[in-house]
Structures are given as structure tokens and as C-alpha cells.
Structure 1
Amino acid sequence: MHSRLYGVGLTITICILAACSGPAVSPPVAASAIPTPSLAKAWQGQLLIGAAVDEKNIKSQGELIANQFSSVVAENAMKPMATEPREGEFHFEAADAIVRFAQSHDMAIRGHTLLWHLHTPDWMWQGRNGQPADRNLVLARLKRHIETEVGHYKGQVYVWDVVNEIIDEKQADCLRNDKWHQVVGPDYVDEAFRYAHAADPAARLFINEYSTTEPAKQRCLIRVVQGLQARGVPINGIGHQMHISVFYPRVEEIDQTLTAFARLGLENQITEIDMSLYKWKDNRLYDTRENLLALQARRYGDIMRMIHNHPDVTAVTWWGVTDASTWLNQDAPADHHDQPLLFDAQGQPKGAFWAVFNAARR
């Protein structure tokens, strides 16, 4: 109170001396000019803090990304459709730009993804003379694709999501009944890991999956992983996507999930985290945005503090940088504006940012 009165008196005095001909004090510093402490530095030595990026945002938000994150993953630029759109025609330009950006800022690089039932070009399934491709042809193409891409980034990408979203708990063998399974058979998973390991023996190799906290899905994923381990397939870890909500899953469920895979001797990474203000496929807000954003901050803080109990977790990666470009708004109604990330649409830190920052060990 005394300092405020002193400030008022000082302002009056300055005004008199200057004949009130101009502003008595300097204008306040704009919020955007106030330095924001770095998440990457706060969590240094504890976790890699990552973000999914593309060619556009490393140009428009490069300073923010380099300051706040210690790891990046290409949102789409390393997927098969992007890197080999036509058979034998490889394009790494977009991914290379991301790798150069990361290397220039001493950031780790995740590779995402070598095999997926989506973003796979049609030529993979086309055989000779208009016939469907057979098992041997598809495996030969997969081998060449993985050898070429992993080889291109050998020693630069430290971890690969070798296979993405392969689990279907409704199937007898727990694997998605997609073209990979239909044409090659269930051992396509084994072969993909072996091809990747041969191309870069030092790279860490992961299965990346969503909804790993759901009991049936989790049991199936454990079953598949144990089969890989029993067959001597080189697998190092599980990527848990964690596209979650302010309403679910419970932190205890995430804790249990990480523990279950750590018991298998595997590394855990949270690879695509964002936290919606909505329930899945439900356009209703169940509270005010202010209250939901406060809940989001508390939940992010609780999750990150829980992770301190998991030395098996080596990285947490947000699926995007700011709320302006989240994938959750791509097909959403105009009034269904989601805000799932740590920075708002203007690139300013939200309550969620501060919760994650404060959860780091000091």
C-alpha cells in the first residue's frame, strides 16, 4: 500500500516538473514481450518435452518451439504417404526441414510412423497386371520403404514409432483386421520391427497406440507385446497417444497403464497428448470455458506429477504447439472450439502451461 502511494506521489511530481506535457511513466510492457520460462529447461534431466510440428509452424512459431520444447516429431511429414507417394519415389524434403530445425536447436527427434493402416499409399497393395499384391511383394515393398526411410535418418532420429494403431481388442489375435493383416498375416508386425532394427540398430523401436488405459485394449496390447518379446523381436517401448479429456481417464488409470508396461521391461513415452474440453464426439460444454480450462490445468499438473514416479517414462510429447492449429478443430463445428494444448491461439501460455512448468522438480 505504501509503495503504491509513493508511486502516485512520484507520478504527480513528475507531471508537475514536466508541465504535464507528456506521459509521466513508460507504458507497460506488452504481454508478448514478457519472457516465458522454458518447459524444456524446467524438465531438463527428467523428461524430453516434445511437440508435433510441421514445415509451417517451425517457420511461424520456431522461436516458441525452440524455447519451450526439447524434442519434436513430424505430425505428418514422415508417414508413408508423404515419404513414398509413388513406389520407389522418396520425398524427404518436408521431413528434412524439420530435422534441420531440430538439429540447429539441439532437439531430439522422434520418427512417426513407418507403418499405419491409414496414410499408406494405394500402390502398396497393387500387384502386377491389375492383380492385388501378394504377401511377398508387400513385404518386399515394406522392407525397402523402412530401410530407405530409417536409413536416411540413421543416427538422427533416436526413436521410431514402427507401427501405429495396430491393436483391435475385438479380434481374436488382438490385431486390426486391415490390409496388412489380410495380405501379409500377423507377422507383418515382427517383420516391420526387424527391418527397422537392421536399418538403424541404435534407434529405439516403439508400438504407438491410442486408448491404452482401456482395460480390454490394454490386455490385447500386452498380449501382442509379450508375443513379440517371446519371438525375440527387437521392441523397446510403448507410445501412449493420450488424446484425453478434462473428464477422463483418471490419473490413477494412466498410472496403472504405465506400470503395466514397465513391468514388461519396456520404456514408456506419452507421444500425442492433448486434453479436450469436451467429451469424445459430444459438442456440449459441461461447464464454463473458464472452469474447464482451470480443470485442464489441474489435470495436466496431476499427470505430470504422477510421471515423477515413473522412471520408465522418458518423454512427453504434445500433439501440436498452440490451440490455433490443433487437429481437434479440423472438422469441428464453428461453435465447437477446442483448446487442448499448453499455449492459446495467440501462442500465449495458458494455465495448463504453468501447471506443467510447476510440476517439474526443482
Structure 2
Amino acid sequence: MRKIGLITAVGLCSILLFSCKHGAEVKDDTMGKTFKDAFKDKFYIGVAINRRQALQKNEKETTLIKQYFNSISPENDLKWENIHPSQGIYNFDPADSYVKTGTESDMFIIGHTLVWHSQTPDWVFTDEQENLLTREELLKRMKDHIDTVVSRYKGKIKGWDVVNEALNEDGSLRDSKWRTIIGDDYIEKAFEFAHAADPEAELYYNDYNLYKTEKRSGAIKIVNSLKEKGIPIKAVGEQGHYNLDRASLQDIEATIQDFIKAGVNVNFTELDISVLPEANADATADVANSEIYKEELNPYADGLPTEVENRLAQRYGSIFKLFVKYEKHIDRITFWGLSDADTWLNNWPVRGRTNYPLPFNRDYTLKKEVAKAILDTAK
């Protein structure tokens, strides 16, 4: 890799404003390469996009997505409650727009997610009298959903998060309705159905906090069970919802090493680094968590101090250095959101906070030191 210079924040801002005003591609001759270009020989650099971005409503957003990333994930539009809200009723239009955005730029398109305990409508698990379904009935609904959705995007969506967040923090299986009704093998069945619907698609298990030994052991059990039965799984996704301190480099490296030993690659699928105080001691990424707003939990409402941004840059640089070290076993790094304006961390687990976890600021300019720290690791 040739040495990568760094454009000044002012210069980049001017370039972005000009390019987006005129609908042109961002030209960045001083920096030389964007994220996707810098790491193109190592792994995909992805971004999760929301419905507005999938519909390409904002030229500035569209420009950045196409310029900086070569993989996309859908924030919500392929989750069951959005794409299959009622029995027999599918809402494909948003997902179709999402896939169209990716195919237009020859991106590696991710499907997220087929089976999850959250954002799945209650009707999925009950009959017309609201009684819980039998194992056979729920398996049929799972298969019909997976067949319909995966087959529609066969050959376009290249990788699927088949099962999402099936584990408790101690590595045991979560008592979701999927498990309660079907049994522990609901995970295997979901992978079987997805593979049958598109044999060429990569299949993943996705979860958070896999840097914790106990939870990672549970994920490895899932991988081993699938592999023992000859059911394909290409990689495990560690979501990577970290902060400035939580998840040591040693733990992240152990995560990579352990999944390599288990015979799968490891992707970092929802990467963001919170700069705000922890709202609770659980340190999980469970979307059901909710905490009361307190001013001390929102210390940077008026802007991110330089010293904190520098810490964020150092953190990103250290983590990406580790990614590069294991590039042969990592297929994709995906930021969970395009900019600080889009991050779910503004409202989770405390609504109304101002967080700064991503490389792009709210005005879509790059955080200068964060960008430099990430790009320097690609040299």
C-alpha cells in the first residue's frame, strides 16, 4: 500500500459541499483513498443504511455511501416486522430500494436479519385464537418467510445474518419464542432453510458482546453444532458495539482467534464506539434496554471536546490495526450508521443523548483524526 496522506477538515468539507450540491463524486486527491479503497485488498468496508438513505433522498448521503463503502447492511427494512408485517402480507418496496442501491454500485449486499427474537410481530408465533403455535406450525412459518425473502433476492444479497442474538450473556440460549416453541434446533433449521433458498449466499450467526469469554463459548457451540451436521456457516458477526474503554484489545483478539480455531471467519458487523458514560452496568446491546435521561449521561450535548475525539481516534486506530493483523480471516467491517446523526446510540439506551461514535460527523464531514487513525492502519 502506498502512503496515504490526510486532507484537512476544511478542505474535505469544501469538497463534500461542492460535490453533493452538484451531484458529483467526492474527489479526494489529498487523502488519496477512501475507506473502501484503502482496505480493498483486505476486507469490505460496510455501512448500515436507513430507509431514507436506501431511497437516496439526500444526495450528500448517497455520495458518501457510494464513495466510502463497498458493502451495505439494512438498518431495519429486512427485519420481519417491516418486510412481513402481517400474515400473508409482504412489504418489499423498501427492501427492493435497499438492494437497488447496492447493485447500482456493485456493493456486497447483506441481508439482516431472518430470525430474531426482537422486531418480530406477535402473530408469527400464534394462531387466530392467539394460542401459541406447535413446533411444526412455527417451522412452516419460518420456512415460508425465509424461502420468500431469500429467494426474492437470490444472487443479489450475498450474505445473510440468518439468526441474530440467540444467546444470553452467559452463553446459554436465550428463551425466545423461537426456542420455546421449536426447541434448540431452531437455529439449525433457520440455516438449513436459508441455504436451500440460496445455496450460493454466505450465512452468518450475528451477536453482540462476543468479546466476553462465556458468551463467545456459546457462539462457538452454535458453530460447532452447525458444522457437525454439515450445515454451512461462513462467518460469525461480532457486532462491535464498544466504547472508549470496554472490550480490551486482548479480548477482541481472543475473539478473532477463537473463531478462527472454530473454522469460521469473523466479521465486525455493527461497529461503533460510544464516547458517552455507560448508562448501566450491564453493558449489553439489547435493544430492549431503556434508561432514564440524566444530564451527567449526556456530557457533550454542545460538541465533542478535542481530547475526547483524539481518544476516539486512538481507539479506532488500535482496533483497525488488529483487524489488519487478521485480514485473512475477516471478510467485512461494517459501521452501524453513516454519521453521528444516524447512530442508534443517540437514543439507546437513553433517549435524547448526543453521541459521536462514527467516523462521519453530523454534517457528513470526516472526523479528521479518526479518519487518519483508521487509514494509517491500511498502509
TM-score by length of 2: 0.83
Tell me, in whole angstroms, the C-alpha distance in 1 between the residues paired with 2:156 and 2:99: 8
Match of 2:51 among 34, 40, 55: 55
Match of 1:353 among 354, 366, 371: 371
1:222 positional shift: 1.3
1:340 positional shift: 0.1
Within a 5 Å distance, the mapping from 1:270-349 to structure 2 comes to 270-281=268-279, 283=297, 289-310=305-326, 311-331=328-348, 332=350, 334=352, 336-349=353-366
Within a 5 Å distance, the mapping from 1:154-165 to structure 2 comes to 154-165=154-165
Q: Deviations over 1:68-120 (max 9, x none)?
A: 00100100001111111011211111111111111111211011000000011
The sequence identity of aligned pairs, in percent, is 33
Segments of structure 2 that go 5 or more residues without pairing to the other structure are 1-9, 17-26, 281-296
1:354 positional shift: 2.2
Preserved contact between residue 32 and residue 348 of structure 1 (Cα < 8 Å): no
Preserved contact between residue 276 and residue 299 of structure 2 (Cα < 8 Å): yes
Partner of 1:207: 205
| Residues 1:307 and 1:130: Cα distance change in structure 2 (over 3 Å) | closer
TM-score by length of 1: 0.87
Partner of 2:183: 185
Preserved contact between residue 127 and residue 134 of structure 1 (Cα < 8 Å): no
Partner of 1:46: 42
- RMSD in angstroms over aligned alpha carbons? 1.9
1:304 positional shift: 1.0
May I ask how many residue pairs the two structures share in their alignment? Answer: 330
1:231 positional shift: 2.2
| Residues 1:30 and 1:188: Cα distance change in structure 2 (over 3 Å) | closer
Partner of 2:174: 176
Counterpart secondary structure, 2:191 = helix
Within a 5 Å distance, the mapping from 1:137-286 to structure 2 comes to 137-170=137-170, 174-281=172-279, 283=297
Tell me, in whole angstroms, the C-alpha distance in 2 between the residues paired with 1:150 and 1:289: 45
Segments of structure 1 that go 5 or more residues without pairing to the other structure are 1-27
Counterpart secondary structure, 2:73 = strand
Tell me, in whole angstroms, the C-alpha distance in 2 between the residues paired with 1:303 and 1:76: 26
Preserved contact between residue 277 and residue 285 of structure 1 (Cα < 8 Å): no
1:128 positional shift: 4.3
Preserved contact between residue 12 and residue 365 of structure 2 (Cα < 8 Å): no
Question: Does residue 1:68 correspond to 2:68, yes or no?
Answer: yes
By relative contact order (CA 8 Å, sep 6+), the higher-ranking structure is 2
Which of the two has higher C-alpha Rg?
A: 1
| Residues 1:265 and 1:129: Cα distance change in structure 2 (over 3 Å) | same
| Residues 1:248 and 1:162: Cα distance change in structure 2 (over 3 Å) | same
Q: Deviations over 1:300-338 (max 9, x none)?
A: 11111111221110100000000011100125455x311
1:289 positional shift: 2.8
1:29 positional shift: 6.8
